[in-house]
Amino acid sequence: MITTNRQHEKFMRMAIRLADQNVLAGKGGPFGAVIVKDGKVVAKSANTVTTTTDPTAHAEVTAIRLACKKLKTYNLSGCVIYTSCEPCPMCLGAIYWAHLDKIYWACTRKDAAENGFSDQFIYDEIARPLTKRTLPVQQLLHQEAQRSFKLWQESDLKIDY
């Protein structure tokens, strides 16, 4: 277990270095993330949105995918994430779903916004009622889709997560 600021700073510098290198190599946005378990790096990644043409390939999400694959689990309890910038709403959701124990970040979302990476519109949209959101939404086949939940509840094959 990591207990000193020096150890935390070491891993944060690693995340920052990933972000720097990503920009200098022209591979993507200025974001890096490192996942650590028991004082050892499990996974690390920079933002690869433009190089992979995947809008979900933020540094944090990519690092989570790599860590889960390496540890052969979807539950990263016992791990912490160091990220060069405060996670966006998507990354924050992924961090919670992955059950990471703690987040350390360097730059704030305000810093990101001042450099062209604002997520404020997503925070604003989430707070709006569905009928007032910018992206139109429409519910279809609600009753029919309920069957999947019933099947899930009755399944002997389900794995709770």
User: Which residues belong to the active site?
Assistant: 60
For residue 62, give every residue at least 6 positions away whose Cβ sits within 8 Å of its Cβ, in sequence order, or none: 33, 45, 46, 47, 48
Q: Which helix (H) or strand (E) holds 42?
A: strand 40-46
How far apart, in whole angstroms, are the C-alpha atoms of residue 115 and residue 139?
Answer: 36
How far apart, in whole angstroms, are the C-alpha atoms of residue 58 and residue 159?
Answer: 27
Contact indicator for 35, 79 with CB cutoff of 8 Å: yes
Contact indicator for 79, 101 with CB cutoff of 8 Å: yes
Start-to-end CA distance of the chain, whole Å, equals 25
For residue 75, give every residue at least 6 positions away whose Cβ sits within 8 Å of its Cβ, in sequence order, or none: 98, 99, 161
